[in-house]
Amino acid sequence: MSVELDWSLWCSRHLEPLRAKWPEGAVIAMVELFKAAAADDRVIAAAGGDADNLTAVLHVIAPVCCYLGDAVVAQIMAAAAPTPSTEGPEPKEEL
């Protein structure tokens, strides 16, 4: 099964934080946007409570990020931000 991420659900302003480290965090941001929209009472009502209608509703209200608001987008971006790894290559010793 192939899944295509539909970036038309986002506005360029809200996507800007992801551009610096693209594609890091992009998939997580898309999943979190979808989850937030699916939990929004307005979106559920517009979809008639039918999950099969969700994608169509998201395209009608797009950009979904703006529809959900800056506070929700801030939570999405926090979830999508890469966490610093404690593992990795050892620092090189200066000669």
Higher pLDDT, 3 or 18: 18
- 27-48: per-residue pLDDT in tens? 999 999 999 999 999 999 999 9
> How high is the pLDDT of residue 46?
94
Separation between Cα atoms, residue 8 and residue 10, nearest integer Å:
5
Separation between Cα atoms, residue 88 and residue 85, nearest integer Å:
7
Cβ neighbours of residue 61 closer than 8 Å, sequence gap 6 or more: 43, 46, 67
